[in-house]
Amino acid sequence: LVAGGESEEAAVVPGQPAKSYLMDQLAVQGDKAAMPKGKPPLAAEQIALIGRWIAEGAKDDTPPSARRKYDMDHPPAYNLPPVITSLDFSPDGALLAISGYHEVLLHDMHDPAKASTGSLVARLVGLSERIEAIAFSPDGAQLAVAGGSPGRMGEVQIWDVAKRRLTLSAPVTYDTVYGAAWSPDMKMLTFGCADNTLRGVDTTSGAQVLFMGSHSDWVRDTIVTADGANVVSVGRDMTVKMTEVATQRFLGNVTTHTPGVLRGGMTAVDRRPDRPEVVVGCADGRPKLFKMEVNAAPAGGGNPNQIREYPEMPGRVFDVRFLPDGKRFVAGSSLDGQGYIWVYETDSGKKLLELPGERGGVFAVAVSPDGKVIASGGFDGQVQLANAETGELISAFVPIEINSAAAAAN
């Protein structure tokens, strides 16, 4: 506005509204004005307010925290590895998407043993500073991101993976959003919000197409049923809920209302590939398997939709993922700065494997489409790739170059 645009004429002359081209453009002639273009003129009060702002110096008082600092041409630099909150393999297994700061990092996974900082092939830099969830579309052509800036705004992004291009940025609510999940037809993206709502948006326009407000605390993760008819959401209110997509109707709780049965918030959910069941990660450290049904508890209490509870992990379970055949799943937890990754047998309830090694708190796990590789990440900013059968470490790497000097300048 001050420097001038295509006309080379400054739209705003600080302190001088009468000499500011912007005021001429806003001036109403009859019932029309040059600006806003193609829309009704601004009200007299609005024009007067703009004139007053110019007269008082036309200062940009946008707080530093709200300014756009990073974009695709100006990516962030790091002096420490970024905390990893989400991971996802592409459906063909060729890429691993890793959360960063203001960005998603795409790494080549054709040979997991060679994965390193140098296997980085793309940086998808967006508006949200916190990246809470990453999800490839079922066809792998798009990547969804849920995140935001805590206490300020939430955002969902959709990227064209091949072109490395942002195709949708939809601001939602006034806090970070979580748990992005695609519908099978890829027309809807669901996510959870800190205002206790489950929402879904059209993946082309960003328009809201689903809303459910029956949670009483943050909604941390979502999953869409295989037929696309319902959405399962989990929240800090210790519930797993089901919502009908077509009507946006809350169908009921998958969990029970029986007092004392539930012992902590729900943090993550994944759909079983071979049956209508979901596994849920919980704050009590015990993953739980549920039928995707909303049968009410009998008068005597209980949890009729819960199939089983698994051996307790240390700390809170932050993420869960099924292996492709549904016969096993992996869970990641954190306690006192130490991370744990266990593999369970789904139907027997047995703990089959504990991945060895020292690691910081684990906040994200992912499984390659062929079921051979488990990826994990968390507080220490390191991605670890392990053999899903033996637990043997395949490779470990920091997903982005650490450059203290550049970060300081940034």
pLDDT tens digits, one per residue of 39-89: 999 999 999 999 999 999 999 888 776 778 899 999 999 999 999 999 999
pLDDT (mean) for 128-151: 98
User: pLDDT band for position 4 (50/70/90)?
Assistant: low
Per-residue pLDDT, 357: 78
pLDDT (mean) for 289-313: 90
Buried b or exposed e, range 147-178, using 16+ CB within 10 angstroms: bbbeeebbbbbbbebeeeebebebebbebbbb
Q: What are phi and psi of 66, to 5 degrees?
A: -100, -5
Per-residue pLDDT, 7: 63
Per-residue pLDDT, 106: 99
pLDDT (mean) for 179-204: 98
Buried b or exposed e, range 393-406, using 16+ CB within 10 angstroms: ebbbbbbbeeeeee
Per-residue pLDDT, 80: 96
Decide if 79 contacts 408 (C-beta within 8 A): yes
Residue 5 pLDDT exceeds 70: no
Domains of the chain with bracketed CATH: 1-61 (no CATH), 69-409 (2.130.10.10)
Higher pLDDT among residues 70 and 303, named by residue? 70
Tens digits of per-residue pLDDT, 262-295?
Answer: 788 999 999 999 999 999 999 999 999 999 999 8
Token readout for 151 is 């206490």
pLDDT (mean) for 222-242: 97
Phi-psi map region of 95: left, alpha, beta (phi>0 left; psi -120 to 50 alpha)? beta
Per-residue pLDDT, 371: 98
Residue 382 pLDDT exceeds 70: yes
Q: Distances in Å between the alpha carbon of 313 and those of 131, 195, 209, 309, 390?
A: 25, 29, 37, 11, 19
Alpha-carbon distance of 6 to 17, in angstroms, equals: 20
- pTM score, whole prediction: 0.87
Per-residue pLDDT, 151: 93
The rounded mean pLDDT for the chain is: 94
Token readout for 235 is 């929240």
Tens digits of per-residue pLDDT, 170-187?
Answer: 999 999 999 999 999 999
Which residue's entry shows tokens 């037809």?
185
Per-residue pLDDT, 30: 87
